A and B are shown apart, each in its own frame.
Chain A
Amino acid sequence: MKLRIASIFIMVLFIYCLAIVTPPLVSRAEATPLVDTISQQVSHIFQHNLLLVKLTKLQQSLNKDIATKIKELKQQQDPLLLFSLLSISFIYGIFHAIGPGHGKSIISSWIIAQQRKLSTVIYVSGLAAASHALSATLMVGGTYVLLGKFVTANSQKLNAYLQIAAAILVIGIGLAMLLRLFHSKLSKNRPGPGQASPRLWGSPSVVALSIGVVPCPVTSVVLIFCLTLGLIWQGILIVLSFAAGMGVSLIVVASLVWSLKEKILTPKKLSGFHYVVTHVFPAVGGIFLVAIGSAILYSLL
């Protein structure tokens, strides 16, 4: 009975979530004017609630502080000022990554769908944050070295291509989860879908790459701002500090999801939820990843 209730609960939630993930697909077809969209968004609790407003204001303040301090650093090469700047960047990274974004959903879906150790979850979160920041650094630095200038229309095109690649990776990871589930259904003697073998599409590095391959716009902006002022190594340090802050946030969220899943999976409770965890979770996670990847891809094409 508990199993049925849990399954129904998950399916209802899943249908609801699919409905809120897919508006980009619907809205483009209807081509409603932007003003309608905005007025509809006014009452939207997910985009406009007190927590998000406060989070946004805090980021605005941190952004302003960083810009001011970078300008001051240009005037006086004070180590204390640099340390203060790195601290603010770290805090900015933490709050920036707390905000809504699909990265946390992808990691959460992957954690729910697969049985992984906490150390692997932390590795994926850290790698995702690092690659998110470093891909921006490489793009900005690369275009400067190769073309002798910073961000251009070409690099914006590259950014769009990377977003498409990330969306395809997300779809691929979701499909791999579903295929593995389908395979295990057909062959009883294969390992359960919960005990996933480390194959390419479900591997931690690919999951991290699917999140991190898209450059972080804030990182690009901070780096360009520093480079235009001639603060090269300081800019790189600020970016690293910002990335570390994002990593902390991602690791905390991912660890929370992992520990909640482990709580459900304690031996005493395993019998009741075993089916849900080994069959429904991978299916929900897989379908969700395919849906979110498709929505992102559709919005880019």
Chain B
Amino acid sequence: MKTWIMAVFFTILFITPHAQAHPHVFITPKATLITNDHFVSQINVEWEFDAMSSSLFLESAGSNTAEIWNLVFPETQLLANGEQTTRTGYYTYVEIDGRVMNDLIPADFTADFVDGNLRCRFTLKLNQTVGNTLKLGFSDPTTYNDFDIQRENFQILAQSGATPVLEKQSENYIDKISLSW
């Protein structure tokens, strides 16, 4: 009994610091995946921010794309002239046939406000041949930004050949989009 009480006691004490933050910004990701049979050339990504966070970005950075992106992803060194340093991540991960792509370098960053909601866009130039499956997900390890992945916000633009099946999957409570050929 005493051990049980102690276990509960210390669980309450120590469980909280590990996950260091709770969600503050809510993002709805959307994407178009461009395929050519088993070849995936690029993924056009759009993040739509919640209305209240959007107002914060508007007040903080106006419509300056570089400033907005530096706020969205602070470690991104997006330069004023539109160039960028080699930075991977951007809360985005792609897995091809069970292999995580480690060197994602997004490009073509844009940001604008539509009906008061911030929309940030970028392109992932993959140029990879996929055997069976490709998985796309968005996740902020700090959980400060929450990504709400919905099936209807993702589409395939098949230029030729086989069109993969697109579905939403959940693994260990993390949602992701899966393409199967």
Contact = CB atoms under 8 A, between A and B. Distances in A.
Check if A and B associate. Answer: yes
Nearest to A220: B56
B23 interface: yes
B5 A260 contact: yes
Residue of A24, A34, A71 with highest tally of chain B CB at under 10 A: A34
Residue of B3, B17, B18 with highest tally of chain A CB at under 10 A: B17
Contact of A264 (B5, B59, B94, B146): B5
Contact of A42 (B55, B102, B144, B172): B172
B14 A13 contact: yes
A64 B16 contact: no
Given A49-B173, A228-B55, A10 B10 contact: yes
A257 B9 CA distance: 7
Interface string B51-89: 111011011100000000000000000000000000011
Contacts of A66: 52
Contacts of B16: 100-102, 104-105, 108
Residue of A35, A68, A257 with highest tally of chain B CB at under 10 A: A35
B131 interface: no
B114 interface: no
A100 B100 contact: no
Contact of B2 (A2, A24, A35): A2
A52 interface: yes
A187 B164 CA distance: 75
Contact of A34 (B20, B88, B148): B88
Given A21-B17, A257-B9, A260-B5, A225 B55 contact: yes
A-side binding surface: helix, strand, loop or mixed?
Answer: helix
Contacts of B103: 33
A210 B56 CA distance: 25
A5 to B, nearest CB: 8
Contact of A63 (B26, B55, B89, B173): B26
29 contacts: A2-B2, A9-B3, A10-B6, A13-B14, A20-B17, A21-B18, A33-B89, A37-B141, A38-B139, A50-B173, A52-B173, A53-B173, A56-B23, A59-B26, A63-B50, A100-B18, A100-B20, A100-B21, A105-B13, A109-B13, A112-B13, A151-B56, A224-B52, A225-B55, A264-B5, A264-B6, A269-B2, A288-B13, A288-B14
Given A46-B15, A63-B50, A67-B50, 20 more contacts: A33-B103, A35-B94, A36-B102, A42-B172, A43-B172, A49-B173, A52-B19, A63-B26, A100-B19, A100-B20, A100-B143, A102-B17, A108-B12, A150-B56, A150-B59, A220-B56, A221-B24, A224-B56, A288-B14, A292-B17
